[in-house]
C-alpha cells in the first residue's frame, strides 16, 4: 500500500512592511495601535504575525537570555506541515518585521494550530553576577531576613 505525498503548500513571502508609510501614519493618528506597555519591536512583531493570519497569545522579551519568544495560534495562515517550509515562512515573516535571521538563530515549533517562535534579540546577556550581588546588598540591609 503506497501512501500519497501531501500536496506542497505555497509559502507566501511577505515583503517588509514599511512602517513609515503615509497610510500607516494616518492609522497611527486615528487609532492607538500600540497595546499598553508594548515596545515598538513587540508592536511590529504583532502586526506582522496578525496580518499573516496568526492570533498572538504572547510576545515577550526574556531579559536573562536576550531572546524574543512569540506564542501564537494559526487562524487563517496556511497549515504548513513540512518543517523546512514552515521555517522559511516564519523567516519571511520576521524579515517583514525587520529581523534578518539565519536558520540556526531561529527556533520554531508548531503543535496543531499553535506555534512557538524564539530568536535572539541582539541585546547583550544580563550580567547574572551583578544581579546576584545587588540582591545580596539589598538583603544585607535586612539582617533579620538573612536567616
Q: Is residue 12 part of a domain?
A: no
Domain residues for 111? 22-142
Residue 8: name the closest of 82, 74, 75 by CA.
82
pLDDT in tens, 91-113: 999 998 888 989 999 999 999 99
Q: Is residue 4 part of a domain?
A: no
Most distant CA pair in the chain, distance = 74
Q: What is the mean pLDDT of the chain?
A: 77
Q: Is residue 59 part of a domain?
A: yes
Cβ 38 vs Cβ 58: under 8 Å: no
Q: Is residue 16 part of a domain?
A: no
Q: Is residue 3 part of a domain?
A: no
Q: What is the pTM of this model?
A: 0.63
Q: Is residue 15 part of a domain?
A: no
Query: Which residues have CB under 8 Å from 17's CB, separation 6+?
Result: 44, 47, 48, 51, 96, 97
The total number of structural domains in the chain stands at 1
Query: Which residues have CB under 8 Å from 58's CB, separation 6+?
Result: 69, 70, 71
Q: Is residue 1 part of a domain?
A: no
Amino acid at each position: 500500500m503506497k501512501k500519497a505525498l501531501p500536496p506542497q503548500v505555497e509559502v507566501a513571502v511577505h515583503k517588509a512592511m514599511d512602517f513609515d508609510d503615509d497610510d500607516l501614519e494616518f492609522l497611527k493618528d486615528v487609532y492607538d495601535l500600540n497595546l499598553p506597555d508594548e515596545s515598538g519591536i513587540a508592536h511590529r512583531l504583532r502586526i506582522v504575525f496578525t496580518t499573516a493570519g496568526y492570533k498572538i497569545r504572547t510576545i515577550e522579551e526574556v531579559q536573562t537570555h536576550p531572546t524574543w519568544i512569540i506564542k501564537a495560534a494559526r487562524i487563517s495562515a496556511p497549515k504548513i506541515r513540512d518543517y523546512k517550509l514552515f521555517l522559511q515562512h516564519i523567516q519571511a515573516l520576521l524579515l517583514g518585521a525587520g529581523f534578518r535571521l539565519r536558520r540556526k538563530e531561529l527556533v520554531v515549533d508548531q503543535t496543531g494550530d499553535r506555534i512557538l517562535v524564539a530568536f535572539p534579540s541582539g541585546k547583550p546577556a544580563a550580567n547574572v553576577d551583578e544581579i546576584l550581588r545587588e540582591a545580596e546588598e539589598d538583603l544585607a540591609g535586612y539582617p533579620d531576613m538573612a536567616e
